[in-house]
Structure 1
Amino acid sequence: MTDLIATTPGLYPLPDWAKDDLSDLKGHQKGDLISGDEGPEIADAYQRARSEVVDAQTDAGLDRVVEGQLRWDDMLAHPLTTHENVETGGIVRYYDNNNFYRDPQVQGELTPSGDVAAELDAVDTDALQAVLPGPYSLADLATDEHYGDEAAFLDAIATYLADELDGFPSHETLFLLEPSLVENPPEDDVDELASEAIDRVAAATDADVVVHTYWGAVPEKTYAHLMDADVDAIGFDFVTDADASLYNINEYGTKDQIAMGLVDGQNTLVESPETIRDRVEWVQDQTQPDFDRAYVTSNTELFYLPVNKFEDKLQALGDAAALAEVDA
């Protein structure tokens, strides 16, 4: 019997009231927040919003609770854009999702900042799931003006993320988000380095580590190298490309655990719990052997949704896991 865990990849939309309050606060500009430099009113607004999204997950019955990453205006690039040795450049479009963020330009050594750890310290839950960009995606989204070559930069990013993890509070699960493995897969001589970088980050935590990929399926060669990484689960985007995801699993195998991206993180149509449960069973029927654990999640971040639809999708995920318990 597969243990179903209802969760999300994080990166939530700000509550509407928080958008209004933060835009009105003197000196606040979207994307210009650096931990430690925020005024008390801004910090209080984020804490109230954080508590709200944590409560929403708990009320929905999710098995893992994320901090929400509400301060991550630059999405996956956030851990770099807040760093003192990184210059945030102009607006760029990272992925084909109609959202634009700033270009982090690394100009000095990437020492740990404690920024993400401080966010996690503010969450009161026994079911904490930490979220970080994977090292390959973070390196892909940044510009290196310090380390000199792709291999050295990827190594530095992995070390930086591992050092950040060292300061995290106790957490049950770590989701490493790696959409660049799909959108801009590594060249032949970097495939193995990307896997080694993920290994380095995963080794820095005692929690279960899920490498969640999305915007499609990972190319075969990259996926084969990803399988070499010592992680507990790989995540698949069954919304965007179910066939190619199933092909990778059945051709190259996968871990004993899996993350199933079954809920559309960009579409306002809310899937019913029964639909989600049917999709879980469909994936299980198409793959062998049974998984020890399946993280049932949205395929992408939920940042793109209106707040009410985001909350409805949380509830659907929680209800789908509850249905599984009833069926068992």
Structure 2
Amino acid sequence: MVATTTGLYPLPDWAKDDLAELKGHQRSDLIDGSEGEAVVSAYETAREEVVDVQQAAGLDRIVEGQLRWDDMIAHPLAVHDAVETRGIVRYYDNNNFYREPVVEGELTPDGDVGAELDAAAEFVDDGLQAVLPGPYSLADLATDDYYGDEDAFLNAIADFLAAETDAFPEVETLFLLEPSLVTDSPADGGERASEAIDTVAEAADADVVVQTYWGALEEKVYAYLLDAGIDAVGYDLVSDHEQAIYNSNEYGTTDDVALGLVDGQNTLVETPAEIRERIEWFLEQTTNDFETVYATPNTELFYLPVNKFEAKLESLAEAATEEVNL
């Protein structure tokens, strides 16, 4: 049982205030690719703080926190030199927004995420976990003004993420966040998306988890996802636990599994006992003997107030410490 998270943490309250003052506008517009020394210093301090929070809670995997990702999982494109960020776009179906990344040139690797992981590694002895957008979701959130073809664009996104992954420091796990596989299912049933995910997974020297959320995958998309060379599929048990069980039992699953057990968008804090019941229910309902179960929130966590975020981490870690027969 491995307690971890999907990353994208809320900024500490002091950092929200300091960064808004330093940049002169609201957090949704903070990142412009040319951060000054004071801004960089504030993020460095906040990064160390959220690493400490995870370690104090007792999580088994530690993420960098993605505190600079004001455009959420669109961030790796939003800070790229070949991308122009345009108008504000609603982030899926909620009250968060991101700047539309419009790709206007070749997506060469820039090492932005790797640099964040290098910085986090200074405070993490072992158990470092990387977080990236999945290629399908990143392509879905972006606009292509360069490659000219949907297949070519998705392939370019996958190659870009693979090159970024190849530059990572040593990490234990890589979570690829793929909400668009649920909210905007691929027209071809998911074959190209699976191939793109496979491209990124092949570049990772770590266990690769594809975390889907805001519902369950359509059956065909799910079946294609299993063709990718990944170590674990993630299920959002908060949003649709019944379809998650159906997919797993009908089409099989991976040897490892990630369970979205904690609601990343609701301030109600789950108790360790409640989380534990969800784990046990899933294990009872499925026919697999899993090697590893990743116990996670179902979505990113930036939606939460800092005190609720910290409390949910503590509950998650405590729930995963009890012995279980996988």
Q: Tell me the TM-score normalized by structure 1.
A: 0.96
Gaps of at least 5 residues in structure 1 are none
Determine whether 1:33 maps to 2:28: no
Q: Which amino acid aligns with 1:68?
A: G
Instruction: Give runs of aligned pairs for residues 184-223 of structure 1, distance below 5 A.
Output: 184-188=184-188, 191-223=190-222
Instruction: Give runs of aligned pairs for residues 289-328 of structure 1, distance below 5 A.
Output: 289-324=288-323
- 3-state SS in 2 of match to 1:69: coil
Q: Which amino acid aligns with 2:156?
A: A
Correspondence for 1:109 among 88, 106, 109 = 106
Q: Which amino acid aligns with 2:128?
A: L
Deviation at 1:33, TM superposition (A): 2.5
- For residues 89 and 241 of structure 2, the distance between their equivalents in structure 1, rounded to whole angstroms, comes to 29
Other-structure match for 2:140: 140
8 Å contact 1:267–1:305 — kept in the other structure?
yes
- 3-state SS in 2 of match to 1:295: strand
8 Å contact 2:71–2:78 — kept in the other structure?
yes
Determine whether 1:63 maps to 2:60: yes
- For residues 53 and 26 of structure 1, the distance between their equivalents in structure 2, rounded to whole angstroms, comes to 21
Deviations 1:201-256 (A, max 9, x none): 00001100000000000100111100100100000000000011111001100000
Provide closer, same or farther for how the CA distance between residues 170 and 28 of structure 1 changes in structure 2, counting only shifts above 3 A: farther
Deviations 1:64-122 (A, max 9, x none): 00000000000010000000110101011131121111110000000111111111111
- 3-state SS in 2 of match to 1:92: strand
8 Å contact 2:272–2:318 — kept in the other structure?
yes
- 3-state SS in 2 of match to 1:322: coil
- For residues 18 and 159 of structure 1, the distance between their equivalents in structure 2, rounded to whole angstroms, comes to 34
Other-structure match for 2:72: 75
> How many residues are paired up?
322
8 Å contact 2:19–2:30 — kept in the other structure?
no
8 Å contact 1:277–1:324 — kept in the other structure?
no
Instruction: Give runs of aligned pairs for residues 1-328 of structure 1, distance below 5 A.
Output: 4-26=1-23, 30=27, 31-34=29-32, 37-123=34-120, 124-125=123-124, 126-188=126-188, 191-324=190-323
- For residues 280 and 27 of structure 1, the distance between their equivalents in structure 2, rounded to whole angstroms, comes to 45
Deviation at 1:24, TM superposition (A): 1.1
8 Å contact 1:127–1:172 — kept in the other structure?
yes
- For residues 127 and 178 of structure 2, the distance between their equivalents in structure 1, rounded to whole angstroms, comes to 23
- For residues 28 and 200 of structure 1, the distance between their equivalents in structure 2, rounded to whole angstroms, comes to 38
RMSD between aligned residues: 1.4
Deviation at 1:29, TM superposition (A): 6.0
- For residues 13 and 21 of structure 2, the distance between their equivalents in structure 1, rounded to whole angstroms, comes to 13
8 Å contact 1:172–1:207 — kept in the other structure?
yes
8 Å contact 2:216–2:235 — kept in the other structure?
yes
Deviations 1:295-319 (A, max 9, x none): 0000001110000000000000111
Identity %: 66
Gaps of at least 5 residues in structure 2 are none
- 3-state SS in 2 of match to 1:129: strand
- 3-state SS in 2 of match to 1:304: coil
Deviations 1:30-85 (A, max 9, x none): 435355x3111111100111111100000000000000000000001000000011
- For residues 28 and 263 of structure 1, the distance between their equivalents in structure 2, rounded to whole angstroms, comes to 32
Q: Which amino acid aligns with 2:132?
A: L
Q: Which amino acid aligns with 1:106?
A: V
- For residues 297 and 288 of structure 2, the distance between their equivalents in structure 1, rounded to whole angstroms, comes to 23
- Which structure 1 residue ranges, 4+ long, deviate > 2 Å from structure 2? 26-35
Q: Tell me the TM-score normalized by structure 2.
A: 0.96
- 3-state SS in 2 of match to 1:83: coil
8 Å contact 2:23–2:30 — kept in the other structure?
no
